Structure 1
Amino acid sequence: MPSKFTPVKQVAIPLQSAVATAFKSVNLADAFSIQLPSDASIDPDVLARFIFSVQPSWIGALLNVRDAIVSGLGLKTAKHLATLSSDATVPRISIFRVFGTSETEVVLGENDKHLDFRVSILCTPGSSPDTGNQLTLSTVVHCHNLLGRTYLSVIAPFHRQVVKASLRRAANLGWPKASA
């Protein structure tokens, strides 16, 4: 357990992140950063898997409400996306498709008829050797049509709360340790 509260800060999307140039135009772009403890893993794949596996339970409830609403619109549901994780030809972390990986970043997302989105989990060095690295979770969304823009206007406030709560929950539980 961490010994003190670690704040989540809203920041600009890091220029070195692949999502900074993922789409020609975006309808939503945000990023939230948290300082990792000095002994935490800096493997973005490990961190992404951890973040999405320990989310607060109310996020699952929100996804169930979302699924009930959007299934009638022909949009992909979280339940459907979860069934795709057994397909080894398309790598996934939780319900998200992996679009790219590097030593410092993993890019996840999905494409659908109403919008496409990308989520980046990026680790960058801390400001000094005594501080941990920064983990920044960035999201960019490109809407295709009115349905996408309407959907985004409804979920954007929830999205921001989900991201912040997910980072806080991961920090409160204690980040995975770096491999020796």
Structure 2
Amino acid sequence: MLPDVTEAAIPAKTKIAGELNGAYFYDCHQMDYQHEGISAMQVFLNAFGNTPAWVDFLMQIRNRVVSLFGLKDLGQLRAILPAKTAADYRIGDQVGIFSLIYQSEQEVILCDCDKHLDVKVSLSKQSKEGRQFIAVTTVVHVHNMLGKVYMFFVGPAHKVIAPAVIQHAKQ
């Protein structure tokens, strides 16, 4: 059985919290996760490297549809290089479909920027009252009407896809 993922407030003491001003869309999902001795980057790699096949199937459909409008093919979420360890990643590196823009032991932020919108995803390790958990936050800034139309379709799907990806961090 997969662990429970819940929607939550964005953790105030994360770097991604500073990206909320002017955001068109944002959300945060969290899940209990014993992260002692595991870097935020490793947790990210665990989650996205084990993306469910049905999510990558939806990504394939997304890529075909948006190519008709001149937008880029992102590839698949699980396109993580298996030979590269968490310690090997540096700012600016590609991590699957995202570029790494911030990295600490407690949080990583990755982004994908395009002419219609900027997407930033943070995975942070959290602890509260003896409970360890991870929080995955997504923040989107749109640049034009195409970005708004895109988010009209992607926003609701994201509410299903994000928890599905996070659940696989423990596998």
Contact 1:42 1:123 in 2 (8 A): no
Structure 1 residues 144 and 106: alpha-carbon distance in aligned structure 2, compared to 1, 3 A threshold:
same
Alpha-carbon distance in structure 2 between the residues aligned to 1:95 and 1:45? 15
The offset of 1:51, in angstroms, is: 0.7
1:60 equivalenced with 2:62 (yes/no) = no
> Could you say which structure has the larger radius of gyration?
1
Q: How does 1:54-133 map to 2 (within 5 A)?
A: 54-79=50-75, 90-128=92-130, 131=131, 133=132
Give % identity: 28
The offset of 1:80, in angstroms, is: 9.6
SS at structure 2 position matched to 1:78: coil
Structure 1: gaps (5+ residues): 174-180
1:32 equivalenced with 2:34 (yes/no) = no
Structure 1 residues 58 and 46: alpha-carbon distance in aligned structure 2, compared to 1, 3 A threshold:
same
Flag as ranges the 4+ runs of structure 1 deviating above 6 A.
Answer: 80-83
> Which residue in the other structure is 1:176 paired with?
none
Contact 2:20 2:26 in 1 (8 A): no
**How many residues are treated as equivalent by the alignment?**
162
Structure 1 residues 51 and 43: alpha-carbon distance in aligned structure 2, compared to 1, 3 A threshold:
same
Residue of structure 1 aligned with 2:7, choices 7, 10, 17 = 10
Structure 1 residues 97 and 67: alpha-carbon distance in aligned structure 2, compared to 1, 3 A threshold:
same
The offset of 1:5, in angstroms, is: 5.3
What amino acid does structure 2 have at the position aligned with 1:153?
F
Mean Cα displacement is larger for which, 5-14 or 149-158? Answer: 5-14
Structure 1 residues 12 and 141: alpha-carbon distance in aligned structure 2, compared to 1, 3 A threshold:
same
What amino acid does structure 2 have at the position aligned with 1:120?
S
TM-score if structure 1 supplies the norm length?
0.81
What amino acid does structure 2 have at the position aligned with 1:17?
T
Residue of structure 2 aligned with 1:42, choices 27, 30, 38 = 38
1:168 equivalenced with 2:167 (yes/no) = yes
TM-score if structure 2 supplies the norm length?
0.85
**C-alpha deviations, 1:71-95, integer Å up to 9, x for none?**
1222121139999x8xx98312211
The offset of 1:23, in angstroms, is: 5.3
Structure 2: gaps (5+ residues): 82-89
CA RMSD of aligned residues (A): 2.5
Alpha-carbon distance in structure 2 between the residues aligned to 1:76 and 1:49? 23
